[in-house]
């Protein structure tokens, strides 16, 4: 990594890239203000590590004048205004019942999946008595399809709530809701 023929503190830009993980462009830009310790030698341009590291690790957006401070302040105020506007859009979406808090959506989805699972697991015991007496694979297949369609139709007609009811019963603060269930 470092050249053996020079002082232990002298590094080339390529060695600095390996050492710091910074890009060639970043290193070159930050080192404009200092003069290299050795130029165009056998190992190329070398910089003193003790001078280079503070330059490489200073904040890149460091303000240098009053105008720079104003620009930084304006940018941070713009980010804050955008964050406030986004929060307001979310709150308006909740109030207009176009958005649902994540906790409520997760709870309803879990209930739907649980109901689906229990209905599907009940199919074999319900169908086994009838399928046992059937003779051809086609009859068995048709009977099983009827049971599956019946269970799915029952699930869709007895779904806990419609999407409109779900949104209407959703609280604005994301706490528990009183949702209509069958």
In the prediction, which pLDDT does 35 show? 83
> Which of 1-5, 14-18, 50-54, 131-135 has the weakest average pLDDT?
1-5
Largest CA distance in the chain: 95
Q: What is the Cα–Cα distance from 108 to 135, expressed in whole angstroms?
A: 42
- Are 89 and 146 members of one domain? no
Q: Is residue 33 situated within a structural domain?
A: yes
pLDDT of 42 strictly over 70: no
Q: What is the pLDDT of residues 107-149, one digit of tens each?
A: 888 888 888 888 888 888 888 888 888 888 898 889 889 888 8
3-state secondary structure of 125: helix
Q: What is the pTM (predicted TM-score) of this model?
A: 0.39
Q: Is residue 180 situated within a structural domain?
A: no
- Are 111 and 94 members of one domain? no
- pLDDT tier for residue 32 given thresholds of 50, 70 and 90: confident
Domain that holds residue 114: 102-168
- Are 110 and 164 members of one domain? yes
In total, how many domains does the chain have?
3
């Amino acid at each position: 990594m470092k050249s053996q023929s020079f002082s232990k503190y002298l590094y080339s830009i390529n060695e600095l890239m390996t050492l710091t993980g910074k890009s060639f462009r970043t290193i070159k830009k930050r080192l404009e203000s200092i003069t290299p310790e050795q130029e165009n030698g056998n190992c190329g341009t070398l910089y003193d590590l003790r001078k280079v590291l503070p330059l490489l690790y200073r904040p890149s957006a460091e303000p240098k004048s009053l105008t720079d401070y104003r620009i930084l302040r304006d940018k941070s105020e713009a980010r804050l205004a955008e964050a406030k506007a986004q929060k307001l859009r979310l709150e308006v979406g909740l109030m207009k019942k176009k958005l649902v808090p994540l906790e409520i959506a997760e709870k309803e989805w879990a209930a739907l999946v649980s109901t689906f699972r229990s209905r599907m697991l009940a199919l074999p015991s319900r169908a086994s008595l009838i399928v046992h007496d059937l003779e051809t694979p086609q009859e068995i297949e048709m009977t099983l399809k009827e049971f599956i369609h019946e269970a799915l139709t029952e699930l869709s007609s007895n779904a806990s709530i419609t999407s409109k009811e779900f949104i209407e019963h959703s609280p604005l603060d994301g706490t528990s809701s009183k949702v209509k269930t069958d």
